Structure 1
């Protein structure tokens, strides 16, 4: 009988210890899971991973230290000067077309620069004609142009980061023929 009592007492003590351990481990495991899911890196500075660290320079190069895109970060000064020299001014009718489209935005956005870069435009047009709407809407390649801009957002925005500058924003314009007016078909970042 004494052995039975001792056995029961040991089991009770063991169960209590397990329950206490579970009570202590559950919050710890929960905290670790939350930190893992939110991507906590242990940094104590004020920047977060979703905050845009976008800087605008005269060359139009985007600098985002948090970005994984090492190609942009490894540009030489010669490449940056080349990019700046490729910029051409935009005709007033194309600028008016883009500003008209901007007026339809429900968000607080402002164009802070507008230019044409032949090399980049051709590359984006290639993609548009092969994978984008150009593959299905029947537009001829000669009737597509891509204009680049910088876009500054204000406080009142729901799909952009508030108070940020988006550099090299693409505006894809199309027309029915040489004598037709340009229309904004699509826009966004590469």
Structure 2
């Protein structure tokens, strides 16, 4: 989903056509496309549909926020923020994300986690989210409990790279995901 993925698909289509790939072959390739490794990756856990979306910069974050703004059902939003080299040490980019656009959406609860959970919680509070609806969970091992207790079946997890890796590790330890082999 999302406009940014439409742009990516159109670019891939145009490039493939330029190299002589037929429209049918392109359609077949798109049909095999899967959501993987933080790219709107869907994980079923304890009756919840958890959608992990990697966010790394303000442009990508705003595209994801625009996507979430189109969600018709109620959902729980989780925001996981770390600040390692792979994430970018400077997390000030979260202030360029238009979280304010989501305050009108159907978010019943916000779960905030990661090593920089305080920064993320403050950003969301400034955006207009009710701190009383926030669950702060800095311990990744306890995040799954927070997901399980969330009031909604749908959970969107916006996560920086190393926070996503840590979350996926916890899912793997619970047997929900296969461990990645490097």
TM interval, shorter chain, is under 0.3
TM-score if structure 1 supplies the norm length? 0.22
